[in-house]
A and B are shown apart, each in its own frame.
Chain A
Amino acid sequence: KVTDDKGSPLTGVTVSAGSERRTVTDNSGNFTIQVSATAKSLHFTYVGYNATDVIITGKSSVSLSLTPEDKTLSEVVVVGYGVQKKREVTGAISRIGGGAVADKPAQSFDQNLGGRAAGVQITIPSGVLNAPPVIRVRGTNSISLSSYPLIVVDGVPSFTGDFSSTAAAGNILASINPNDIESIDIAKDAAATAIYGSRAANGVVFVTTKKGKAGRSRVTVDSWVGWSKVQRLPDLLNASQYTDYKNEALKNAGTYNANTNAFALTNGPDGKPINTNWYNYVYRNGFQHSNTVSISGANESTSYYFSAGYTEQQGIIQRNDFKRLGILMNIDHKIGKAVNLGGKIQYTNEKNLAAVSSGSLGDAFATAGLGRVALITAPNVSPYNNDGTYNYSGALIGVMNNKVGQVGFNNPVIQLDQNRNNAEVEHIIGNTYAQVKPISSVTVRTVFGIDYVLVDNDIYYSPISGEGFSSNGSVTAALNKNKRWVWTNTIQYDKTFADKHTVGLLAGMEHQKSNNTGYGLNRTIVSDPAFTNVQGGWATPNPSNLAIGENYLYSEFGRLQYDFDKKYYISGNLRRDGASQLGVNSKYGTFWGVSAGWEITKEKFWTSARLDRIFSSFKLRGSYGKVGNIGGLNNYASLSTYGSGLYGGNGTAVYNQAGNSNLTWETSKKTDIGLSFGLLNDKITGDVTYYNNNIDGLLLNVPQPPSAGVPTAIPQNIGTMYNRGIEIAVNATILQKKDFSWTSSFNVATNTNKVTALAPGVNSIIGITGGLESPSITLPGYPIGMLFVTQTKGVDPATGRRIFVNSQGKDVYFQHVAPAGQSRFMYADGTVAPGVSSADAIVYKTTQPKVFGGWENTFRYKGFELTAMFTYQFGNYVYYGTGAGLRDQRFWNNEVGVLNRWQKAGDLTAYPKPIFGDNISNGSSFPLDINVFKGDFVKLRSVSVGYNLPKTILEKVKINNARFYVAGSNLLIITNYPGPDPEVSSNGNGTTNFGIDRNTVANQRTITVGLNVGF
């Protein structure tokens, strides 16, 4: 009989006697085996447990318990083209178990990596469902190219990014059901990543999906339901406050006229003045649920994992939905001893739905943007007229009794009722492999993988009002097809000589080809409002979303690993890549990484110093290497081209792209020095690492002076930057009693980012938000993406004017409408000052966090389990551009703070005298320091309370395990940031325009209730 360390029977344990006889244990852990008389021992193996030999000489029955493999230092991690025991790894790799991302109210696994691995910073950019998170592994490692890591799913590099062409976000990684994930390994240094050569600069994330485990087949059901809501929205003026305040501003501007230029209340159907809270129309409590069923198992020759999942999630914005239906099949089959065959196939159908722009996906200033519309639309008008019809005037919301031209942009209710912005994604990921071991030390493997993404974009704008008004309706159908195949061939040699010299040698080659095509049709001027699809009756056909492109990557790579007596380790990786995107003179690049490790606990002096009593493991490691980046590079970026269009109905040729035939890789030279240790029999394990990443040849789209007239910024490998820091990760089993345990994981990372050189003649790069605002600047000597704002000095108590500080350091007093004899910009002495603008901006604060990390605690008491995960971030600043809009003195509604405005001489206030039309004093016209805030926060990212049904009950109902839980995500934010959430990015994964919060929909807060059952 075979049991685990707690005495429960183990099913499916392989028992072998010599090489000819083997069997497996049954459901009770019992087994029978006939052995030859000469057999002296039995060999027991089971996944997740230490292999054990038992002497059987003279015994007819054997009972034993297997000890589980050490869960921390000895577990394996995924490295490129293979796995390695964590204890033997000399590179920097963080492993995250699949449990960390399963059963979370998120659309994609990457949203839940925050705080789980030292040096990995995740920012959820907005509350829009399925927006790709911002992932930074050890800081921002590129300026113009992607800073997003390479994602390798089951050995095949995956597409990443937002594949939707509509106002609904479509992170392509959401196709992977988080419940199907076994583990996520994040490789950070050159040693760990160099095997991916040219794509390794931002780190590599290995995602491994679940496989069948030995034993009888298992069925699992994982389900949860959840409710999400928006949080921390700013308080706005109500209808009467708004009406009075705006009229005061009109009077201050000298243009108030009760009959022709004034704000006024309107009575609603109930006879009382309309007082609309637009949040109620734009936001909602979203209901979500997710269900996954899996069947898995394995016998001697075949293992399989099959799952089907369906999730439906409602966002906090009305009509923003996510629906995913997916299946996954993993199968591995062994033929004899030498041949393994297998593969996987995943099909996902995913619907990303929205009515209209949220203004949170890089389109901060979209006039339909729901995040913004809810803030600025006048509260004294209603979405409906008193007769129940929509309130609108042309494209805009109607003004009702207000005597002004405009009191809002679009009527959001019409948009939400009528319009459509959907992206349906069909995603097929598959691979198949064959592996042959001609001799036991040699493994030859070939893998062919595909990644096909088909996106059907469907956009409709009603002709009634809003975005479709001026075109009398608009509908777009566009299909985008992305296809990639990857063919990898490797040969691996593993051998241990003289018991002490272990050698691993890998050689391989890989082809990767990607193609995309896109085509679509946009039609406007509807012939009958009943037509809402592109096939209906419309006047104009316009081509839409046309795209065609291809790229190709050819690679040769190798790895050598050697260790002496598990004491001294060295390894080297080499990869040569050729990429089609690069200049004709520089297609190929060679990348490499070397590392060494020293397990000091194996040394005699260590044991003689009795340090082994404290340290179960103590390993020094170091690595250095050179890796590359071309992520996000346009397919034809190196070419100079003429594009074609029409003039007067005839074809044109327009010089539209300036290329560079010497365009080549960005290179990162990464140094890593670390220490891994285990204390008190691995009750405490940890890693301390110093890293330094010097990036050379940063590809900059070097902007030429606009007057040079060069059509596009020319890509050149010219900039330099570094990221440096220290990472500490500690896992501890603080208490381990029979009924109670407490484990804790803590990690912290520091990062110092500095741009050290841009191109000659390029002193700085301005980062743009939403195509309109320039609050960011990147320049040598500073971290990437500094905030670039004009300084202010409060409000003049005597006159209520905003005081600016101009580039000469002089105070300039501003009033939007100047009385006769004065001017808008004046010095303190009353003389006319030149206008203050963004030209007076200074390099102000960094948007890069200095310290960030996470802390997770898990408490178990009998069947109960409490897990709380905190994430934190310090040292960065956020530009709260939304705040500028909230105090804009046009018709826009304002935050309640403006009630403290300046009214009379002597008033001490941060809010200047309101003058209607003033878009300068508060930062709408150009960014101001008053809208820059610290982004420090501590978040209770997730907390859950679970209960595992006790074995006694489980056995009665004949199920293996059952767990119920209640969980919350984003329940608590401790921050001084005035906006909804300092974890925000209006510009998504943008590198030079990070740390901007402009009209962004805030992150949601979610409560979920769920269960996991295993049969």
Chain B
Amino acid sequence: CAKKDALNPVPSTSISDLTAFNTKDRIEGQVRGIYATIKNSGMYGGRYQIFNDIRGEEFNNERTNVVTGFDIWNYTPSNSSTNSVLNHWARAYYVINLANVFIDGMAAKGSAVVGTTLSNNYLGEARLLRAISYYSLLQLYARPYWDGNGSKPGVPLRLKGNTNSGNYALARASVAEVYTQILSDLTFAEQNLPLDYNNAALNTTRAHRNTAIAWKTRVYLSMQKYAEVITEANKIVSATPPFTATSGVANALQSDYTSLFKPPYTSTESMLSMPFSTTEQPGTQNQLGYYYGPSAFNGGNGEYSLLSTGIISNTGWKSTDARRSFVQVFGSKSYLTKYSVPSTFTDWAPVIRYAEVLLNLAEARTRSTNTVDAQAIALLNAVRGRSDASTVFTAAGFADASALADAIMTERRIEFLGEGLRGADITRLGLPLPAKPGVNSIPTTSQQYIWPISADELLLNPLCKDN
């Protein structure tokens, strides 16, 4: 009757959980929803990259604003730092739970709706997104793998979908246990993701098999498991130049470095990026272009300039290097201008690029063989030569393996400036966090070397202990 209907109104702008797995569209919508969630509120859509950038030595904080990472930059976040410690933790686990709810729902109903092949593709995507969320948590909230071989506390490991209230007290799994799960997810993804979407946009915004392999090289590198890095990288890097992936999406370096950061942002080098547009905006104070671009450049807030003592002081990085074109001086300060779109700052946020796989492989070969490895030099030259043909590294130029490794690290700092790799590179190698103007260096043994655990988590999950 009318009264009963009025007492049970049906919302017209959302879908009931009871019917979320009823159609193919809704199921694929959920897959996209997990990506959208890892993208937004500044996880892999910008803030995760920024946090890792500003923990390094390249950037100077110009705004002393805690909302935009002043405390991350000067290594003073507290358990309740809302925009970093609390939000990243909550957001990453939201993604993880969305993936878990999806995996459970597919088993219960969804797989039958979409069929086995699509179901496996989607589950591969969900598990990859779960893996890279856990990976981001480990980089910020847990001791690096080298410290006790992964025996230190990691983060709570949750693999079941949570939809109701319940007893969610759970202790932190060890770092090694979390990495094991990450690798298990990525391996599943590798085996079940599509080889190629045959669509440039999808090949950059949705994970395919090579994306999972690329992630495995990053993960193994973080664990200093160099042999595994080599095994994984070799699946998608040809033995000889030009280094390309020979199966799946034809991943390869693009000839023009600057094209990677311009529309349409889709290329075979960008193996996963977070798409933005005027109808899909990054959200306030999450945008890469807003943080790094000064107002005179793109109307950004110039939150961070480039420190004159950082990588821009490197004399081997020639002014003719295409990558130098992204370092511009405004006033008396240098800024990173890689992200140039003015408001609404819709540059896509890079998550993983093929160039990283090459340098991951080069580094792994160098560190595992402890020699001035010829292929490592070739890989390094591939990356350098693309932007600076005039510089060619030779074996003779390196006194020892360590010098080569240093050159690879320098190359990473240049190649991925403002792409969120530096913080995790520092910690995985056990380097102290660098001193900056008004900020002391943080030794690896310090409590401040990693973030504290979310105050909300400590409050509501009595089994979870702080760092």
Q: Hey, which bits of chain A sit against chain B, CB under 8 A?
A: 253-255, 260-261, 365, 393-396, 405-406, 469-472, 513, 524-525, 539-540, 542, 546, 548-552, 554, 578-580, 584, 587, 635-636, 639-660, 702-711, 714, 716, 759-764, 766, 768, 771-772, 774, 817-818, 823-824, 834-835, 837-839, 890-891, 916-917, 919-920, 924-926
Contacts and interface: CB of A to CB of B under 8 A. Distances in A.
B32 to A, nearest CB: 4
Interface string B63-83: 110110011001010111011
Contact of B6 (A580, A711, A764): A580
A891 B163 CA distance: 46
Given A579-B7, A580-B6, A838-B78, A649 B277 contact: yes
A705 B457 contact: yes
A253 B74 CA distance: 13
A652 B36 contact: yes
A interface, over-half SS: loop
B459 interface: yes
Interface string B160-171: 001111111110
Interface string B262-279: 000000000000010111
Given A647-B33, A709-B97, A839 B343 contact: no
B79 A655 contact: no
A557 to B, nearest CB: 16
Contacts of A579: 7
B454 A706 contact: yes
B96 A648 contact: no
B466 interface: yes
B275 A647 contact: yes
Given A646-B280, A647-B32, A916-B438, A761 B460 contact: yes
A1015 B310 CA distance: 83
B278 A542 contact: yes
A473 to B, nearest CB: 9
B280 A647 contact: yes
A827 to B, nearest CB: 14
B89 A552 contact: no
A484 to B, nearest CB: 13
Contact of A890 (B11, B64, B165): B64
Nearest to A770: B82
B155 A707 contact: yes
B67 A772 contact: yes
A839 B344 contact: no
Given A705-B456, A707-B457, A837-B78, A642 B32 contact: no
Contacts of B3: 554, 578
A711 B91 CA distance: 9
Interface string B18-45: 0010000110011011111101000000
Contacts of A472: 299, 342-343
Nearest to B296: A394
Contacts of B162: 704, 708-710
B167 A761 contact: yes
B301 A920 contact: no
Interface in B430-457: 437-440, 447-448, 452, 454-457
Contacts of B279: 542, 646, 649
A839 B78 contact: yes
A642 B89 CA distance: 22
B396 interface: no
Nearest to A641: B14
B17 interface: yes
Nearest to A764: B459
B223 interface: no
19 contacts: A254-B438, A395-B301, A551-B9, A554-B7, A580-B9, A643-B13, A644-B29, A654-B33, A655-B20, A657-B14, A659-B17, A705-B156, A706-B460, A709-B158, A761-B169, A762-B460, A766-B455, A837-B78, A839-B78
A774 B80 contact: yes
B140 to A, nearest CB: 14
Nearest to A817: B438
Interface of B: 3, 6-9, 11-17, 20, 25-26, 29-30, 32-37, 39, 62-64, 66-67, 70-71, 74, 76, 78-80, 82-83, 86, 89-90, 93-98, 100-101, 155-156, 158, 162-170, 201-202, 205-206, 275, 277-281, 290, 294-296, 299-302, 332, 342-345, 437-440, 447-448, 452, 454-462, 464, 466
Contacts of B20: 642, 653, 655
Interchain residue pairs A-B with the least CB separation, the first 10: A709-B97, A394-B295, A837-B78, A653-B29, A705-B461, A654-B33, A652-B33, A641-B14, A640-B17, A647-B32
A772 B82 contact: yes
A759 to B, nearest CB: 8
A635 B165 contact: no
B165 A714 contact: yes
A471 B93 contact: no
A639 B16 contact: yes
A704 B168 contact: yes
Contacts of A406: 62-64
Contacts of A636: 9, 11, 14
A751 to B, nearest CB: 28
A643 B14 contact: yes
B201 A648 contact: yes
A654 B37 contact: yes
A548 B13 contact: yes
B110 to A, nearest CB: 12
A841 B283 CA distance: 32
Contacts of A470: 290, 295, 299-301, 342-343, 345
Contacts of A471: 299, 343-344
A823 B456 CA distance: 27
Nearest to A915: B438
A489 B463 CA distance: 56
B343 A524 contact: yes
B134 to A, nearest CB: 11
Contacts of A703: 456, 460
A736 B84 CA distance: 68
Contact of B89 (A513, A707, A711): A707
Contacts of A657: 14
B158 A707 contact: yes
A774 B30 contact: no
A192 B446 CA distance: 63
B90 A645 contact: no
Contact of A524 (B12, B163, B300, B344): B344
A707 B67 CA distance: 22
Given A640-B163, A705-B464, A818-B440, A645 B36 contact: yes
Contacts of A253: 438
Contacts of B332: 260
B269 to A, nearest CB: 18
Given A652-B36, A654-B37, A706-B89, A554 B64 contact: no
Contact of A838 (B16, B66, B79): B79
Given A548-B12, A707-B461, A708-B158, A925 B78 contact: yes
Nearest to B438: A255
Contact of B32 (A641, A652, A714, A761): A652
Contacts of A255: 437-438
Contact of B299 (A394, A710, A759, A761): A394
Contacts of B86: 706
A766 B275 CA distance: 35
B79 A839 contact: yes
A673 to B, nearest CB: 37
A768 B300 CA distance: 29
Contacts of B71: 925
Given A706-B89, A708-B168, A817-B438, 13 more contacts: A253-B438, A396-B301, A539-B278, A641-B11, A642-B20, A650-B32, A655-B17, A704-B165, A835-B452, A838-B79, A917-B64, A919-B70, A925-B71
A641 B163 CA distance: 11
A4 to B, nearest CB: 53
Given A641-B16, A716-B165, A835-B76, A587 B7 contact: yes
